[in-house]
Amino acid sequence: MGILEKMRLDGKSAFVTGGARGIGKSVATALAEAGADVAIVDIDLDEAQKTATQIAGETGRKTIALKTDVTDPKEVDAMIDSLLASFGKIDIAFCNAGICINEPAESMTYEQWMKVINVNLNGVFLTARAAGKVMIQQGGGSIINTASMSGHIVNVPQPQCAYNASKAGVIQLTKSLAVEWATKNVRVNSISPGYIATELISNAPHLVPLIEKWNDIAPMHRMGKPEELQAVVVYLAGDCSSFTTGSDFVVDGAFTCF
């Protein structure tokens, strides 16, 4: 089988958390273009449904939309049950839902801290654990978690200690799961995007003025686009990456290189 054939995901089923928009939507589209059936999992059901319909129309793949708050273990387990009822199996899990709160550490409330840790780290644990259980029983699967370059560096000037800590946690959680499940044919990797032009940034009024500054510092003098993360996730999702597990893939236009 040639390499392009090995990269195809025909016959596989996937779910994407935070799939309604941004990076999740873009990656969900790519997974479907590569042949997978895809569940769009998001706390925002209206937008998830629109995305699922759009992807099905563009790719001809089966898609479903599921309303799930990734911080709620019961909702995550119910999401897995619905997914199995629709698709029969789970081959690919993209645990991607995330939020950011920028607040100086000295004024960050415990509630703000816990909100970020809950979605970004606990949410990834809950969805990866639930997917991993099914994949172990099935005899294999691929889990890809969204970390961030903020799990590697403290990017300035915006103060975001909870976000940085949560994303460093995702990278180490990914490695732990990869080692635990290495003999069970369940691979676990993470991606660490740099600044990507999505609503996570455009909806945060205090971040928008910083874009010019980031672009100034960035070696490529621009932010990334969501579609520039598609190929790495499709690679990690499929059988062509069979020896790749426990790795973190930094996709940041060299932002963390200096």
Catalytic residue numbers, as ranges:
148, 163, 167
Q: Which two tokens stand for residue 102?
A: 């920028």
Binding footprint of ligand NAD on the chain (CB under 6 A): 17-18, 20-24, 42-44, 68-71, 96-99, 119, 123, 146, 148, 193, 195-196, 198-201
In angstroms, give the least distance from the CB of 16 to ligand NAD: 10
Of 18 and 169, CB closest to ligand NAD? 18
In angstroms, give the least distance from the CB of 44 to ligand NAD: 4
Of 3 and 154, CB closest to ligand NAD? 154
In angstroms, give the least distance from the CB of 176 to ligand NAD: 19
Q: Which two tokens stand for residue 258?
A: 């200096």
Closest-approach residue to ligand NAD (CB): 98
In angstroms, give the least distance from the CB of 166 to ligand NAD: 8
- In sequence order, what are the beta bridge partners of 92? 14, 142
Q: Which two tokens stand for residue 199?
A: 């609503």
Of 169 and 193, CB closest to ligand NAD? 193
In angstroms, give the least distance from the CB of 183 to ligand NAD: 29
Of 44 and 77, CB closest to ligand NAD? 44
Give the angle 199-130-8 at the CA atoms, nearest 5°. Answer: 70
Q: Which two tokens stand for residue 139?
A: 């005899």
In angstroms, give the least distance from the CB of 106 to ligand NAD: 23
Cβ(84)–Cβ(90) below 8 Å? yes
Of 8 and 191, CB closest to ligand NAD? 191
Q: Write down how long the chain is.
A: 258
Cβ(16)–Cβ(39) below 8 Å? yes
Of 72 and 239, CB closest to ligand NAD? 72
